[in-house]
Amino acid sequence: MVTKTAKKEADVKKKIQKEESRPGTARPSEGDAVSKELTKGGEEISIIKLVDNLVESAFHSRASDIHIDPAEKQISVRFRIDGVLHDFYTFPKEIQSEVISRVKVLSGLRTDEHQAAQDGRFRLTFSGVNVDVRVSVAPTYYGENTVMRLLADQAESYTLETLGFQGRDLDVVKRNITKPYGMLLATGPTGSGKTTTLYTILKMLNTKEVSIITIEDPVEYAIGGIEQIQVNTRTGLTFASGLRSILRQDPNIVMVGEIRDEEAAGIAVNAALTGHLLLSTLHTNDAATTLPRLLDMGIEPFLIASTVNIAIGQRLVRKICDGCKTKKDITADELKSLATVLPVKVLDDYRTFYYGAGCAQCDHSGYKGRIGIHEVMEIDDEVRLALMKGADASEIKKIAIKNGMTTMVEDGFRKAIEGVTTIEEILRVIHD
């Protein structure tokens, strides 16, 4: 087997392939630092500068993730911008091991381990903003791949309004986070902004009068005045064991990054019953499915009914770029097509919508930034009674809608009418 040193010596003697990017996707300028580094001769290439410049390029491109994917003859580097992956660079295969090793060194991972998945993190600073980079390395058929998630300080500036909560949803959330005990659950698939919603609520609740402790996997943002604990399965620190320890430290508010199993669910419910406000996330498709999901985890119906205050279902949609926002009137055929996926009462008489024509500000995508679409289900007496009678998710959803809940589809449609996003984006994200 070729040693790391021998491999590096062989690599630097080979010419670095010039960066190229697939047409039709977001792409860097020809003069950017990564492209310049890639055009240098073999011995002049600096892997340290290349990796640093790659993260900085992703930061300035508003990317949330960097994917370094090895193939047979090259390495594809893609950025996830506003939830969509774009090809950005192509690295030569010859520098694959050096790039991965540099990321491992930054993250404090083992550089001699190539057959096991590893997770780590590091921090860089660009334009005065601290950027925490969460790293995941995993072995694949063509060598190790790397995914880096960028978590910037600016996330602390979010409010419920900037996250997309409005009207009744905003009122319900604000009213329920002031309750001294009970559970507040954010639900949705991976990457739907659940943790950001909980962090925003924690920031609102963070005062000197209360003790807030979190247990997370991983800790995504550091918040002053809050005790944050990182899950570590190697030492036996799981969500369940960590939650037990937290409750012995007399907190007022507890955040559990995710309720994954029956043990964690049981402890979380008991915490909410004994005078704690508990925030957590669940992987469910919508707010109404939250209650049956807890039943599946072995929680008794009466315990769920007496502890859960609200369940928030959410997704993230791309926002129309303000620089190229354009009005459009939908045709009769388009309206007919929409009627098959949107309730008639939602469509009403709305015919004018908006789209992004594409400009330099948004790399001609028509979108810039993302915002949440939500449904906030408040657990009222009627929902509790239905749960105790064994109602399924569809029955619970009907009751919640009757009592005023706005569905994600309706919230998304409202934002499309206001020109915040497009109909196409709502339909892309929500699969009813």
pLDDT tens per residue, range 253-273: 999 999 989 999 999 999 999
At which residue do the structure tokens 């005990």 appear?
Answer: 181
* Token couple for 112: 């001699």
Q: Which residue has the higher pLDDT, 213 or 36?
A: 213
CA 50 to chain CA centroid, Å, is 26
Q: Which residue has the higher pLDDT, 172 or 22?
A: 172
Instruction: For residue 227, list its beta bridge partners.
Output: 213
Q: What percent of the chain has pLDDT over 90?
A: 68
Give pLDDT, residue 154.
55
At which residue do the structure tokens 């789209």 appear?
Answer: 355
Q: What percent of the chain has pLDDT over 70?
A: 90
Q: Pairing mode, if any, of strands 308-320 and 182-187?
A: parallel
Considering only CA atoms, give the Rg of the chain: 24
Mean predicted confidence (pLDDT) in 304-312 = 96
pLDDT tops 60 at residue 25:
no
Confidence class of residue 18 from pLDDT cuts 50, 70 and 90? very low
pLDDT tops 70 at residue 14:
no
Q: Pairing mode, if any, of strands 74-81 and 84-92?
A: antiparallel
Residue 108: enclosing H or E segment and its boundaries? none
Give pLDDT, residue 58.
94
Mean predicted confidence (pLDDT) in 86-107 = 93
Residue range 330-358, pLDDT digits in tens: 887 777 777 777 776 777 778 889 999 99
Instruction: For residue 123, list its beta bridge partners.
Output: 132
DSSP letters along 225-239, please?
TSEEEE-BGGGTB-H
- Going from the C-alpha of 39 to that of each of 1, 23, 314, the distances in angstroms are 30, 19, 44
**How many residues can be counted in the chain?**
432
Q: What angle do CA 253, 256, 258 make, to 5 degrees?
A: 150
Q: Which residue has the higher pLDDT, 60 or 9?
A: 60
Contact 331, 206 (CB under 8 A): no
Residue of 232, 237, 299, 233 whose CA lies nearest to 272: 299
Mean pLDDT of the chain: 87
Residue of 211, 334, 221 whose CA lies nearest to 275: 211
DSSP letters along 202-221, please?
HHHH--TTS-EEEEESS--S
Residue range 178-236, pLDDT digits in tens: 999 999 999 999 889 999 999 999 999 999 999 999 999 888 888 889 999 999 888 98
Contact 286, 401 (CB under 8 A): no
Instruction: Count Cβ atoms within 10 A of the Cβ of residue 169 and give its class: 0-12 exposed, 13-18 middle, 19 or more buried.
Output: buried
